[in-house]
Structure 1
Amino acid sequence: MTISLDLYRPKALDLPAPHAEAVRAPAPARITGVGTAVTAESYSQQELLDIFAITDPKIRSVFLNSAISRRHLTLPPQDSEGNRVSEPQGDLLAKHARLAVDMGLRALQSCLDDTGASLRDIDYLCCVTTTGFLTPGLSALIIREAGIDPSCHRVDVVGMGCNAGLNALNATASWARSNPGRLAVMICSEACSAAYTFDSTMRTAVVNSLFGDGAAAIALVAGDDEPAAGPRVLSFASHIITDAIGAMRYDWDSDQSRFSFYLDPHIPYVVGAHAERVVDRLLSGAGLSRSAVKHWLVHSGGKKVIDAVRVNLGLTRHDVRHTTGVLSDYGNLSSGSFLFSYERLLEERVVEPGDYGVLMTMGPGSTIETALVQW
């Protein structure tokens, strides 16, 4: 008996012919505007040493050798004798809410002015902050205060630290890419004046010598018909140095009855040693070498951090000129620092179509975040 195998072969299905043109991937999101804001008062490092009557030579050396000229800060109130009083944690949280909303709103408006958009155009809002805790989040407060459409999609990124701006940019760019033609905005608002501790330790001295108040906002839109002024956000790469997970942390200090930031003195060298790995992975995905990158916008984490990253990546001082300039004029602004550098790069008017840029932030985890952009 012979059995025909044709009985067991699937019959050809009568399917329509495939499309002649393949479906194109969504266009990358493009940065269409940027804006920044700071608090009203700024102080030199010497002025701060005088205001707080700091005489310890070691602590004074930390302040005066920080490569920081001025920082915007909202100092504690004075008592009847003119001395600065220590604010309890509740007062610091209230300060954070007030400053973060105010700076965030001003940075947002500056960004929209740069973009040529209005508040009613915003379809997605991502807010980043680490210097205080808010429930409801900063996004809800800004939507209410600004009068943004309450149906706006929103996300709050809280507690990720100085690297958080690129984590949030990843989410914001992804939303924009999935919603072509719709405006997405990210705001980083850090009231570092609301995250301090007074004591005589070197740990506190390093932290108090470094941070400043500031906010930055950027707008993104995806779509082939968008103007080509700003860079396209091409890709991201991350690296968590798990062996150094406690090297940067913001946790409860029982002695002070408040949250306190800790920064390990070895962290600049740890971050620097791992910078090549994540940057090369970012660039290899696009078939690029470091020499192909014309613009480097690195987080202004501190003089030693910047130097360690620069040396390990083989960058020149000119490559990180905006990073060091922002550090000098504002100190470490936490999550929004790299956007202050981005704004300065645009003001130079040296960027040309086709130029590649790398954005880089570092923070708790210990974490290095990177993004590749192209004009």
Structure 2
Amino acid sequence: MPHLLAVGGALPGPPHAQQEVTAAIGPLLTDDRHRLDALHRLHAASGVMSRHLALPLEEYRDLTSFGRANDLFLREGRLLAEEVTRAALAGAGLPPDAVDFLLFTSVTGISAPSIDAGLVSSVGLRPDVRRMPSFGLGCAGGAAGIARVHDYLLGHPDQVGMLVSVELCSLTFQAGDDSTANLVASGLFGDGAAAVVLVGDEHPRARGADLDVLGTRSGLYPGTADQLGWHVRDSGFEIMLAAGLPETISTHLAADVGALLAEHGLTPADVATWVVHAGGPRIFDAVSDALGLPEDALAVSRESLTAVGNLSSASVLHVLADTLRRGDPAAGGYLVVMAFGPGVSAELVLLQRPAG
């Protein structure tokens, strides 16, 4: 089985208080008093207290075109990608030229060549590193990325695989859009990046790894394609965010989690630690209700939402890093990583802390 060595995270700039962000962007979204009142209510109910943003608040008024926003994504995203790549490799105790496979994921900007290609020269990855850039997995991309690197390492057990996620959600800002979906999103998402280093079972660093990756599962729920994702407009990425998304998760999640755990002779009661991407309070409630989790089971995920907001694909990786820093789970304990994205899709990863 593959093994997880390290998780690194990075956030741009200083944190901004939620009230500060609301006050700055509200007039850019609408001049209707009733919609501004709705904006303040939705932001206050988001569970977010602060966020890190790629740009100073006053510069968001200039985000009026897709091209401008994407240029900024590339400029700022490259810096964060380099930072988290170095941090994760340092945490794993591996040099950059040890990486054999690199999966890059983002849903907030696009380019060809993709950002990961620049890591070869800027960080020192080998020119023959196998790269797989991914776009479209959305918030599920962090969990899916671990799963796909896991799949690669099953076939290349002596190699090193790496996942890099960069999400600058604030650069998808849509001025003049006072739809409820956009008002909610403008108070929920933050900017950040993360990276994970894994090795195959025959790699010298496999013994003594933080976590063993036992298995993965993907779920795609038909008939839900309009609940979460992007409408791509001339102005950029316009959010699709349906009120029924938590209900979809409540309906389907227990079966997927149960199927993954059953493959290993486990039930939800056997799982010590749950790592859920910071999708929002209603998503947390849907997960807890579907799985019958105790009240404090998602405490670290909720704390991440409060401190930095939803970082899309990087969110679940930040929650995972926070969880590991706390020493969870204990030796021999099981951990489930889960995230939800467009489709609607769910991505699950089962991990275990080595017993000794």
TM-score by length of 2: 0.92
Tell me which residue corresponds to 1:21: none
1:44 and 2:17 are equivalent in the alignment: yes
1:108 corresponds to 2:85: yes
Matched residue, 1:229: 209
Secondary structure, counterpart of 2:305 in structure 1:
helix
Measured at CA, do residues 156 and 302 of structure 1 come closer, stay the same or move farther in structure 2, by a change above 3 Å?
A: same
**Deviation, structure 1 residue 77:** 7.2
1:58 pairs with one of 24, 38, 42: 38
1:242 aligns with 2:215: no
Q: How far off is 1:162 after superposition?
A: 0.7
Offset of residue 314 of structure 1: 0.7
**Superposed, which structure 2 residues align to 1:1-375 within 5 Å?**
28-54=1-27, 56-75=36-55, 78=58, 84-198=61-175, 199-223=177-201, 225=204, 226-253=206-233, 257-375=235-353
Gaps of 5+ in 1: 1-27
| CA shift for structure 1 position 76 | 6.6
Secondary structure in structure 1 of the residue aligned to 2:339: strand
Residue identity matched to 1:290: P
Q: 1:342 to 1:176 in 2, by over 3 A?
A: same
Displacement of 1:85: 3.0
SS for the counterpart of 1:232 is strand
- In the TM superposition, what whole-angstrom CA distance separates every residue of 1:138-172 from its partner, at most 9, and x where no partner exists? 22122232231111111111122111222222221
Distance (Å, rounded) in 2 between the aligned partners of 1:303 and 1:340: 17
Q: Percent identity?
A: 27
2:30 corresponding residue in structure 1? none
Q: Which has the higher contact order (CA 8 A, sep 6+)?
A: 2
CA contact (8 A) 1:279 1:370 kept: yes
Unmatched tracts of structure 2, length 5 or more: 28-32
Taking the aligned partners of 1:77 and 1:64, their CA distance within structure 2 comes to 19
Does the Cα contact within 8 Å between 2:329 and 2:335 map onto a contact in 1? no
Please state how far the C-alpha of 1:317 moved relative to its aligned partner: 2.9
Q: Distance in 2 between matches of 1:339 and 1:364?
A: 18
Amino acid paired to 2:345: T
Aligned-partner SS, 1:227? coil
What is the DSSP-based 3-state SS (H/G/I as helix, E as strand, rest coil) of the residue aligned with 1:74?
coil
d(CA) in 2 for partners of 1:227 and 1:248? Answer: 40
- Counterparts in 2 of 1:99 and 1:316: CA distance versus 1, 3 Å: farther
Q: Which structure: larger Rg?
A: 1
